[in-house]
Structure 1
Amino acid sequence: MAIKICIDVLLAQRKMSVTELSQKVGITMANLSILKNEKARAIRFSTLEKLCEVLDCQPGDILVYEKDDLKN
């Protein structure tokens, strides 16, 4: 996957638990886990906005593009 989700890094920097983030953002632990473990196929802008608000960051701090090393 070329898009990486860096929620773990942001949580560690802010000394915040996944449970606390889940409660503040208003999403289930299951959905946050899907995001955190990079299993998500999409993210709503409203969820991204709330994550940015709670984590006091920009979308680019959460979503990072990394070029795939696979050659066709």
Structure 2
Amino acid sequence: MGIVVKLDRVLLERKITLTELAERVGITMANLSILKSNKARAIRFSTLAALCRELDCQPGELLAYEPDSPRCLPQDH
């Protein structure tokens, strides 16, 4: 179970590139890529708010809870 980031879908809907979003929000491309690929372990509320502001969306459009998603399974470290 876990949280899935739907940033790729929102970017496509808004016709905004990852590069453009990184510039507008002030986040590195590397960090946005980690978030987009569901490899992020956490996100600051200030980052989430900035993403929502620039993408004109609500947090629920970027994040979803999917209990059985393989993308949400804990990783062995």
Q: Do they fold alike, i.e. is TM over 0.5? A: yes
Instruction: Tell me if 1:19 matches 2:30.
Output: no
Which runs of 5 or more residues in structure 2 are unaligned?
Answer: 71-77
Which position in structure 2 is the counterpart of 1:41? 41
* Superposed CA offset, 1:23-70 (max 9, x none): 001100000000000000000000000000000000010010011268
Query: Aligned in 2, Cα 1:18/1:67: closer, same or farther, shift over 3 Å?
Result: same
Which runs of 5 or more residues in structure 1 are unaligned?
Answer: none
Q: SS of the counterpart of 1:43?
A: coil
Which position in structure 1 is the counterpart of 2:51? 51
State the TM-score, normalized to the length of structure 2.
0.86
Query: Aligned in 2, Cα 1:14/1:44: closer, same or farther, shift over 3 Å?
Result: same
Q: Quick one: percent identity of the two aligned structures?
A: 61
Q: CA RMSD in A?
A: 1.5
Q: SS of the counterpart of 2:4?
A: strand
Q: How many residue pairs are counted as aligned between the two chains? A: 70
State the TM-score, normalized to the length of structure 1.
0.91
Name segments (4+ residues, structure 1) moved above 6 Å: none
